[in-house]
Structure 1
Amino acid sequence: MTLFERSPRGVKPTPDGTRILPMIDQALDALDAIVAEAQRLANPAPDTIRMGVSPLIGADLVARAFDAARNLDRPRDLVLREADLTHLREDLQAGRLDLLLVPAVQAMPTFRHRVIAREPVVVIDPADSRTESPVELHAAADAAYILVPDSCGLTTFTTELFRSHDLPLRTYPGEASNYRVLDEWARMGVGAALLPQSKTTHEHGSSRPLVRAGAPVEITYEAVWDNATPLAADLEDFVTSLTQLTELTERTYEETGD
């Protein structure tokens, strides 16, 4: 049986080939499905999702992650690890973690990414505590900012925010150990600070929403995971569920304030 015929104008299927070739494609697809299912049965996905989180990720988002894991068709337990971004990325690349929840401040091109949540950023500057009205980014550039070690993603976010808008970033010569100390030092008047709104102390009366051309400046949090693991399908479902829970929570807050 001849499947193809050659001519000066090229190669084309014979009448027999036109009938047989689609069947061959179907057989190959079925064989691929058999191999994939055999691998799934031989290497079943674990019952846990090992999730790494940045210190900037709030407890409310982590709580929703637990709900999302429990609501999977095959419920999973979450095993959490909080660490700096460098260690989290290394562990994800080495297969020691299944998924990250981190600020979206650095690309990992070979991994899947999905935005999970956003929140407004505020400026804490006791030197300008007469008002709590929004402050434009170009005006905020007049302050000297306390920074933290580039581990949780906040310093990367801050420096990239100013750089991307061609604004100088004036910095305090010292360094706070983490965002909690950053908040305290700014409240003491050591310098100004840029923080996600949820990370400021409630008694802080000198925080002002940061805006650019009147629109709130926001920090984005994302899920990052490897799509080539036995857990890939469950991780996709988990991230989708977490995104939906977050959107529902945000809509409820907008409607009720609770």
Structure 2
Amino acid sequence: MYLSLENGQLEFVIGPVDERAPKGPDRGHLLLYSEPLVFIPKGDTPIPGLKSRTISVRALAAETFVMVPDACGLARVTRSLFKRHKVVPKEYSGEALSYSVLQEWAALGIGAAILPQSKIASNVARSLPIEDKGGGPVTIFYQTSWRRSEVPEIERFAEDLVRQAPALLAGLHCA
């Protein structure tokens, strides 16, 4: 996604915050939204390292995870989460094509899953918020990024986005 921005194939991208995204005066970034990440255990297996109503990243070390392809950024965010906590995740060899398939595979016992809280289907019986080393919620952040341009319309759109997005997001109760 960010490579397409870098190559000039896209003017704007929206997706999870990526630490590898180019920074600098020729780039603009705007945080749009954040939400907790949630753990879905596989099948009916007991939940490891259960602490009340949350689970730590360290407690997930023994799990095998089903993942989606990295097109949406969730797989990259999940791997980065484990890396920050010095945990090497075990990954199922196949990739689910969607978040709903990810949840189905977890229910079937193929592997556990990690998803943004808003993507958990109502029929998922068990899920837990994930906590970081400090006991706080593990969160996924979404941003829009753009390459500053000499094209006036693009610059005006970016300026309008920066000016209007906070009020729009507040109205959606996302900010």
**TM-score, normalised via structure 1 length:** 0.58
| CA deviation profile, 1:139-171 (whole Å, cap 9, x unmatched) | 122211111222110111011110111112111
| Unaligned ranges ≥5, structure 1 | 1-84, 253-258
| CA deviation profile, 1:22-54 (whole Å, cap 9, x unmatched) | xxxxxxxxxxxxxxxxxxxxxxxxxxxxxxxxx
2:111 aligned with 1:191: yes
- 1:97 positional shift: 3.6
The one-letter amino acid paired with 1:116 is L
- 1:223 positional shift: 0.8
- 1:205 positional shift: 1.2
Aligned runs of 1:56-95 on 2, under 5 Å? 85=1, 89-90=3-4, 92-93=5-6, 95=8
Partner of 1:250, secondary structure, is coil
| Unaligned ranges ≥5, structure 2 | none
2:24 aligned with 1:107: no
Q: Distance in 2 between matches of 1:144 and 1:95?
A: 38
**Aligned residues with identical type, % of pairs:** 33
User: Which residue number in structure 2 is paired with residue 145 of structure 1?
Assistant: 65
Aligned runs of 1:102-181 on 2, under 5 Å? 102-105=15-18, 106-109=20-23, 110-125=26-41, 126=43, 127-128=45-46, 133-181=53-101
Partner of 1:108, secondary structure, is coil
- 1:203 positional shift: 1.3
| Larger RCO (alpha carbons 8 Å, 6+ apart) | 2
Q: CA separation of 1:201/1:237 partners in 2, compared to 1, >3 Å: closer, same or farther?
A: same
2:135 aligned with 1:214: yes
**TM-score, normalised via structure 2 length:** 0.82
Q: Distance in 2 between matches of 1:251 and 1:158?
A: 21
